[in-house]
Amino acid sequence: MTAGLNTSPDVSSAEGVAADELKQFIERLERMDEEIADLREGRKEIVSEAKGRGFDTKAIATILRIRRQDHSERQEQEAILELYQQALGMM
């Protein structure tokens, strides 16, 4: 037996069911990659539209990041930021 090669009967046959199943997985992943690319393009269009309407896209990105955070995590980060700003005389 050669090291690193899988020689089980269900995978080794290029004509077998496993090959068909593998092809289906590959095709599903390819479709998903296309969908992801389309979503990214759509996202770019939305950001561009917001920028065109005068919104600050960096601020929008920050808001999106904050909204994805857990509430308690967000509160903790805000408290640390406030503490650091006070320590630096920024507040």
Residue 63 belongs to domain spanning: 15-87
Query: Which residue's entry shows tokens 């296309």?
Result: 34
Per-residue pLDDT at 7 exceeds 60: no
Between the alpha carbon of residue 28 and those of residues 18, 32, 37, 79, the distances in Å are 15, 6, 14, 45
Structure confidence by residue, pLDDT tens digits, 35-86 = 999 999 999 999 999 999 999 999 999 999 999 999 999 999 999 999 999 9
The pTM of this model reads: 0.64
What total number of domains does the chain contain? 1
In a domain, 3, yes or no: no
Structure confidence by residue, pLDDT tens digits, 15-31 = 677 999 999 999 999 99
In a domain, 10, yes or no: no
In a domain, 72, yes or no: yes
In a domain, 49, yes or no: yes
In a domain, 74, yes or no: yes
In a domain, 22, yes or no: yes
In a domain, 1, yes or no: no
